[in-house]
Chain A
Amino acid sequence: MQLERRDACPTVGKWRILSETALKTNGAQGSDQDLSDVERVLAGDVEGFEGIVRRWQGPLVNMAWRYCRDRGRAEELAQEAFVRAWRGLAQWRREGIFSTWLFALAANVFRSELKRFPSVNLPLEAASEPSRPARQHNELAAQQSSDAVRRAVMALPVRYREPVILFYFHEMDVGGAARTMRIPEGTMKARLARARELLRRRFPHLEDENRALKLADREA
Chain B
Amino acid sequence: MNEDNLDRILKSEEDLVPSSGFVAAVMERVREEAAAPAPIPFPWKRLVPGIVLAAGLLSWCGVELMRLGLQDLRAVAPTQLHLSTAFTGTVGQTGWVTLALGVSMATWLLSRRIVGRSGLL
Contact = CB atoms under 8 A, between A and B. Distances in A.
Chain A contact patch, size range: 35 or more
Contacts of B86: none
Interface of chain B: mostly helix, strand, loop or mixed = helix
Contact of B26 (A9, A83, A196): A83
Interface string A175-200: 00000000000000000100010011
Interface in A125-177: 145-146, 149-150, 153, 158, 164, 168-169, 171-172
Interface in A81-107: 82-83, 86-87
B20 to A, nearest CB: 9
B18 A57 contact: yes
Contacts of A58: 15, 17-18
Most chain A CB atoms below 10 A, which of B16, B33, B119: B16
Contacts of B33: 83, 86-87
B16 A199 contact: no
B79 interface: no
A94 to B, nearest CB: 21
Interface of chain A: mostly helix, strand, loop or mixed = helix
Interface stretch (B1-9, B61-69, B93-101): B1-9
A75 B23 contact: no
A145 B8 CA distance: 11
B18 A164 contact: no
A149 B25 contact: no
Interface in B15-70: 15-19, 21-23, 25-27, 29-31, 33-34
B10 A79 contact: no
B11 A150 contact: no
Contact of A50 (B6, B9, B23): B23
The 5 A-B residue pairs whose C-beta atoms are closest, nearest first, are: A9-B15, A206-B5, A61-B18, A168-B10, A6-B15
